[in-house]
């Protein structure tokens, strides 16, 4: 509009339903079957004053519309809007309607390909902009936004839809979505659907506070009501326009309607907007990192970045990364979250592995399990680019330095993906004094902003050097932090524990240094949040891990190792095992303590005298005990058992229980995870020649996939025994799919393993 507002249209879906569209049918097919109906609706909106008409392409996606010419549907959709006299046409894009991996089975790459295809067709048909709307999954919204930006030159608007609790179905809040999507260069961000205009106001206020681009709002016409068997929406055009006035006053400039709104609503909205001028918004600069469900702002109070997902000096994590033991890595992430970390640093750099591939896998899994934002820690351009791409938020990149190669490689990635960027005070020389550090920091800020990084996205690492070689280093670093904070007005991070490298009594030194740096204004120390000494320094900000909250079953006699296992007592098992090792061999401890205790509880489980959590608690205790026997070195060697939940099935609780119990009996398990392609199972067998393969399926629909996997194994000449299990399986089913064994439950599977592996060894 002349006064600076942009007026969109209202609903299409509910209008089509009113004209006979059947529930469950694709409204978009009307573009081909009933073009007049669609054009008429568009025209009514044009006449009501809509400047942008949204093409009827909301659900037009090759993923959903099988056996339909989606290209024709999309192109007709854009054309009909134009024919109706639209001044501008928005290509309407929305969700796939299924969950992305690893929560669901749709891969990011597949989703991207679909979106890329959709936006290309839309652009070819002459759409003027792309509206990505009604999104619940921030990662999917990001995927669509990237596809739109990378395959067209059109402006892209993104709106998410929130429930009355202020979150999307997948838990994203409006601040997080706004910070993330504006950093990703959306041309407008906002909210649509679900709520009426009045209920949307608090969400809109949050969005307006953080959006660095224009804000778009398209509410429903209130809530749907049913009267005389007919659905209607409670907000009349007048009510709608009145509520939209409050929304416009927050600084929203792009307005329209969603479900239940009609040309009358838009017409009233137009009249209302004609009497207003856009409210100017002042968005203060902020430094932030987001996950899909959380935003962490740096600068106000100290935020802790957990350092434990970094293989340097950690043998077990190193082994887990090499073997692809994702559960171990996730456990480290969860422990840090529970200990109070605010952000997690993720570093998987090892010469033995493909860093980019591993970082992508670890980020995918970690972000679907913990809710903390991640700091992607790598010097590999490829690893950072690929991880930033599939990361469901605004990450921090750690780090760039003043060397030209580093700047050239890292800055474009940070800029493209809107990441916050750690600038490390390092160049062709290493700074020694606080003055040198400050000079480096100043130069970094200048260099990075000139290359297009926002100043508020820069976080300076003043570089911690050990006091073992130069005792002044702690003070010099702390002073530099103070100068950078006060004079440059940027946020800071520090890898605190480097200060004591090569020194005795490291934790005390680290804790003292941490206190000094916090006093100097440090925004975010990178440290191990599980260390109590730090927690004290952070003054109750960190809560230590409460291991006493584990289940215990006080059925008496929790004495000795067998008693502890039997009763599920985790605390103390490690000491008890260490004590036993003074007089007995590890094998004796396993055979005389672990196995009999597990057998005892297993028999009770079979008889129904104890229930499943109890059996698992026993296995947990054994696992802890086993760690003592194995020592910090992860064991090598080929697995005894390969486990997988078959393709198409993402249930893994049962499989994980089997794994845990097998491990507690001392079997080495290679866990391929869930939704595993048959080829992957065959490849794992060819690599390891494990004598037993366990396959799990929980749904009748995935039993065929189990059968295919077994056939593929046989075709590949695998002589391994195959055991199958899962809720829908029966001994008959097991035979039918060609399995050698039917594992009724975890306990049964252990017996199968005993039989098979005894035979082969």
Partner 1 sequence: MDVSLVIKDALRYLGAKKRDIEAEALLRRVYEGNKDTFSPRAVYGLYEIDTYTPVVKLRGYAFSLEGESIRRHLQGASHALLAAFTLGIAVDKRVRELSLARPSESVALNAIASSYAERIADEMLLEERKKIERDGYKTNFRFCPGYGDLPLKTNEEIAQALNAQKKIGLTVTEDGLLLPRKSIVGIVGVTKEVEK
Q: Does 170 bind partner 1 (CB under 8 A)?
A: yes
Q: How far is the CB of 568 from partner 1 (least distance, A)?
A: 7
Q: Does 546 bind partner 1 (CB under 8 A)?
A: no
Q: Which two tokens stand for residue 60?
A: 């037009």
Which residue in 98, 38, 22, 23 sits closest to 73, CA to CA?
Answer: 38
Specify the residue, 105 or 466, whose C-beta has the smaller distance to partner 1.
Answer: 105
Cα–Cα distance between 542 and 482 in angstroms, integer?
A: 23
Specify the residue, 505 or 549, whose C-beta has the smaller distance to partner 1.
Answer: 549
Q: Which two tokens stand for residue 651?
A: 């249930």
What is the Rg, in whole angstroms, of the alpha carbon atoms belonging to the chain? 30
Q: Does 234 bind partner 1 (CB under 8 A)?
A: no
Could you count the other beta carbons within 10 Å of the beta carbon of residue 348?
Answer: 28
Q: How far is the CB of 168 from partner 1 (least distance, A)?
A: 8
Q: How far is the CB of 112 from partner 1 (least distance, A)?
A: 18
Q: Which residues pair with 725 in a beta bridge?
A: 696
The sign of the CA dihedral 224, 226, 230, 236 is negative
Q: How far is the CB of 706 from partner 1 (least distance, A)?
A: 12
Q: Does 608 bind partner 1 (CB under 8 A)?
A: yes
Binding footprint of partner 1, residue count (CB under 8 A): 63
Specify the residue, 66 or 759, whose C-beta has the smaller distance to partner 1.
Answer: 66
Torsion of CA 63, 67, 68, 72, to 10 degrees: 90
Question: What angle (nearest 5°) sits at the alpha carbon of residue 514, between those of residues 509 and 516?
Answer: 100
Q: Does 351 bind partner 1 (CB under 8 A)?
A: no
- The secondary element (H helix, E strand) that includes residue 226 is strand 224-227
Specify the residue, 599 or 686, whose C-beta has the smaller distance to partner 1.
Answer: 599
Q: How long a stretch of residues is the chain?
A: 761
Torsion of CA 722, 723, 725, 730, to 10 degrees: 100
Specify the residue, 495 or 568, whose C-beta has the smaller distance to partner 1.
Answer: 568
Which residue in 592, 610, 588, 591 sits closest to 601, CA to CA?
Answer: 610
Q: How far is the CB of 166 from partner 1 (least distance, A)?
A: 12
Backbone phi, then psi, for 462, in 5-degree steps? -75, 0
- Position among 325, 457, 649, 671 found at the interface with partner 1 (CB under 8 A): 649
Q: Which stretch binds partner 1 (CB under 8 A): 45-53, 122-130, 165-173, 478-486?
A: 165-173
Burial class of residue 669, CB neighbours in 10 A (0-12, 13-18, 19+): buried
Cα–Cα distance between 169 and 178 in angstroms, integer?
A: 16
- Position among 568, 602, 639, 691 found at the interface with partner 1 (CB under 8 A): 568
Q: How far is the CB of 419 from partner 1 (least distance, A)?
A: 24
Per-residue binder mask for partner 1 (CB under 8 A), 257-296, x = binder? ----------------------------------------
Cα–Cα distance between 29 and 38 in angstroms, integer?
A: 10
Subset of residues 182 to 211 that bind partner 1, contact rule: CB under 8 A: 193
User: What DSSP letter does each residue of 496-530 carry, written as one string?
Assistant: GGGGGTT-SSHHHHHHHHHHHHHHTT-SEEEE-TT
Specify the residue, 4 or 20, whose C-beta has the smaller distance to partner 1.
Answer: 20
The CA distances from residue 154 to 122, 605, 643, 692, 701, in Å, are: 10, 62, 47, 54, 42
Q: How far is the CB of 94 from partner 1 (least distance, A)?
A: 9
Q: Does 143 bind partner 1 (CB under 8 A)?
A: no
Q: Does 399 bind partner 1 (CB under 8 A)?
A: no
Cα–Cα distance between 620 and 729 in angstroms, integer?
A: 27
For residues 691 and 640, the answer to whether their CB atoms sit within 8 Å is: yes
Q: Does 428 bind partner 1 (CB under 8 A)?
A: no
The sign of the CA dihedral 224, 230, 234, 239 is positive
Cα–Cα distance between 494 and 286 in angstroms, integer?
A: 19
Which is it for strands 305-309 and 254-255: parallel, antiparallel or unpaired?
unpaired
Q: How far is the CB of 328 from partner 1 (least distance, A)?
A: 9
For residues 113 and 70, the answer to whether their CB atoms sit within 8 Å is: no
- The secondary element (H helix, E strand) that includes residue 178 is helix 174-183
Specify the residue, 162 or 417, whose C-beta has the smaller distance to partner 1.
Answer: 162
Cα–Cα distance between 279 and 318 in angstroms, integer?
A: 54
- Position among 201, 322, 699, 716 found at the interface with partner 1 (CB under 8 A): 699
Q: Does 760 bind partner 1 (CB under 8 A)?
A: no
User: What DSSP letter does each residue of 300-326 carry, written as one string?
Assistant: SS--PEEEEE--TT-HHHHHHHHHT-H
Which residue in 742, 604, 761 sits closest to 667, CA to CA?
Answer: 761
Q: Does 605 bind partner 1 (CB under 8 A)?
A: yes
Could you count the other beta carbons within 10 Å of the beta carbon of residue 179?
Answer: 25
Q: Does 611 bind partner 1 (CB under 8 A)?
A: yes
Cα–Cα distance between 442 and 330 in angstroms, integer?
A: 37
Q: Does 551 bind partner 1 (CB under 8 A)?
A: yes
Q: Does 648 bind partner 1 (CB under 8 A)?
A: yes
Specify the residue, 136 or 262, whose C-beta has the smaller distance to partner 1.
Answer: 136
Q: Which stretch binds partner 1 (CB under 8 A): 366-374, 433-441, 452-460, 531-539?
A: 366-374
Q: Does 327 bind partner 1 (CB under 8 A)?
A: yes
- Position among 83, 335, 385, 592 found at the interface with partner 1 (CB under 8 A): 335
Per-residue binder mask for partner 1 (CB under 8 A), 705-744, x = binder? x---------------------------------------
Q: Which stretch binds partner 1 (CB under 8 A): 263-271, 329-337, 558-566, 712-720?
A: 329-337
Per-residue binder mask for partner 1 (CB under 8 A), 94-133, x = binder? -x-xxx---xxx----------------------------
- Position among 109, 274, 559, 609 found at the interface with partner 1 (CB under 8 A): 609
Q: Which stretch binds partner 1 (CB under 8 A): 199-207, 246-254, 324-332, 711-719?
A: 324-332
Q: Does 556 bind partner 1 (CB under 8 A)?
A: no
Q: How far is the CB of 681 from partner 1 (least distance, A)?
A: 17
Cα–Cα distance between 304 and 290 in angstroms, integer?
A: 14
Per-residue binder mask for partner 1 (CB under 8 A), 469-498, x = binder? ------------------------------
- Position among 318, 614, 707, 721 found at the interface with partner 1 (CB under 8 A): 614
Q: Which residues pair with 646 in a beta bridge?
A: 676
Contacts with partner 1 by CB under 8 A lie at 22-25, 95, 97-99, 103-105, 134, 136, 161, 165, 168-171, 193, 229, 327, 330-331, 334-335, 338, 368-370, 549-551, 553-555, 568, 605, 608-614, 616-617, 619-620, 648-653, 656-657, 660, 699-702, 705
């Amino acid at each position: 509009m002349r006064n600076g507002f942009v007026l969109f249209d209202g609903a299409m879906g509910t209008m089509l339903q009113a004209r006979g569209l059947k529930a469950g049918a694709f409204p978009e097919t009307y573009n081909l079957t009933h073009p007049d109906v669609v054009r008429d609706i568009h025209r009514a909106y044009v006449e009501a004053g809509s400047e942008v008409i949204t093409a009827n392409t909301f659900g037009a996606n090759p993923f959903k519309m099988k056996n339909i010419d989606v290209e024709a549907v999309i192109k007709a959709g854009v054309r009909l809007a134009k024919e109706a006299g639209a001044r501008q046409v928005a290509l309407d894009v929305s969700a796939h309607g299924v969950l992305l991996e690893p929560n669901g089975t749709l891969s990011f790459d597949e989703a991207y390909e679909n979106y890329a295809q959709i936006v290309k067709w839309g652009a070819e048909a002459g759409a003027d902009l792309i509206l990505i709307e009604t999104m619940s999954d921030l990662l999917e919204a990001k995927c669509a936004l990237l596809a739109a930006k990378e395959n067209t030159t059109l402006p892209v608007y993104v709106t998410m839809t929130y429930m009355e609790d202020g979150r999307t179905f997948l838990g994203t809040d409006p601040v997080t979505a706004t910070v993330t999507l504006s950093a990703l260069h959306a041309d407008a961000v906002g909210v649509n659907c679900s709520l009426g205009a009045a209920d949307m106001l608090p969400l809109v206020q949050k969005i307006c506070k953080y959006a660095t681009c224009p804000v778009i709002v398209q509410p429903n016409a209130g809530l749907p009501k049913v009267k005389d068997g007919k659905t209607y929406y409670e907000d009349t055009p007048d009510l709608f326009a009145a509520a939209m006035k409050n929304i416009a006053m927050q600084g929203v400039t792009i307005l329209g309607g969603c479900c239940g709104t009609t040309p009358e609503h838009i017409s009233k909205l137009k009249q209302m907007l004609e009497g207003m001028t856009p409210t100017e918004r002042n968005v203060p600069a902020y430094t932030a990192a987001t996950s899909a469900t959380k935003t962490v702002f740096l600068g106000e109070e100290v935020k802790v970045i957990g350092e434990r997902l970094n293989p340097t000096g950690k043998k077990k994590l190193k082994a887990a990364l090499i073997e692809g033991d994702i559960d171990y890595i996730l456990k480290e992430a969860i422990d840090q979250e529970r200990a109070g970390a605010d952000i997690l640093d993720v570093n998987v750099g090892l010469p033995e592995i493909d860093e980019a591939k591993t970082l992508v896998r670890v980020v995918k899994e970690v972000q679907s399990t913990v809710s903390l934002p991640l700091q992607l820690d790598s010097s590999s351009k490829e690893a950072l680019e690929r991880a930033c791409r599939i990361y469901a938020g605004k990450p921090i990149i750690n780090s760039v330095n003043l060397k030209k190669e580093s700047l050239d490689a890292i800055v474009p990635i940070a800029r493209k993906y809107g990441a916050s960027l750690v600038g490390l005070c390092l160049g062709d020389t290493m700074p020694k004094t606080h003055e040198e550090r400050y000079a480096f920091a100043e130069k970094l800020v200048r260099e990075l902003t000139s290359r297009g990084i926002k100043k508020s996205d820069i976080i300076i690492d003043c570089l911690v050097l050990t006091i073992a070689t130069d005792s002044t280093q702690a003070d010099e670093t702390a002073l530099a932090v103070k100068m950078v904070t006060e004079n440059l007005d940027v946020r800071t991070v520090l890898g605190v524990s480097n200060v004591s490298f090569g020194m005795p009594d490291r934790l005390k030194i680290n804790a003292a240094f941490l206190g000094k740096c916090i006093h100097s204004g440090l925004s975010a120390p990178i440290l191990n949040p599980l260390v109590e000494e730090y927690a004290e320094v952070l003054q109750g900000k960190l809560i230590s891990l409460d291991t006493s909250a584990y289940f215990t079953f006080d059925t008496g006699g929790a004495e000795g190792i067998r008693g502890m296992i039997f009763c599920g007592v985790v605390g103390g098992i490690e000491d008890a095992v260490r004590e036993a090792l003074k007089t007995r061999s590890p094998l004796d401890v396993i055979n005389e303590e672990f196995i009999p205790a597990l057998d005892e509880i297993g028999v009770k489980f079979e008889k129904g005298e104890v229930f499943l959590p109890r059996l698992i608690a026993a296995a947990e205790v054994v696992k802890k005990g086993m760690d003592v026997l194995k020592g910090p070195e992860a064991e090598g060697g080929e697995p005894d058992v390969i486990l997988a939940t078959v393709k198409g099935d993402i249930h893994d609780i049962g499989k994980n229980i089997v794994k845990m119990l097998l491990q507690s009996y001392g079997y080495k398990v290679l866990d391929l995870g869930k939704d595993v392609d048959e080829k992957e199972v065959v490849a794992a067998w060819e690599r390891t020649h494990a004598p037993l393969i366990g396959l799990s399926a929980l749904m009748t629909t995935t039993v065929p996939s189990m059968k295919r996997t077994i056939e593929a194994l046989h075709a590949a000449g695998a002589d391994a025994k195959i055991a199958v299990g899962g809720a829908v399986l029966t001994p008959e089913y097991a035979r039918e799919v060609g399995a050698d064994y039917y594992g009724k439950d975890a306990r049964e599977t252990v017996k199968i393993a005993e039989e098979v592996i005894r035979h082969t060894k």
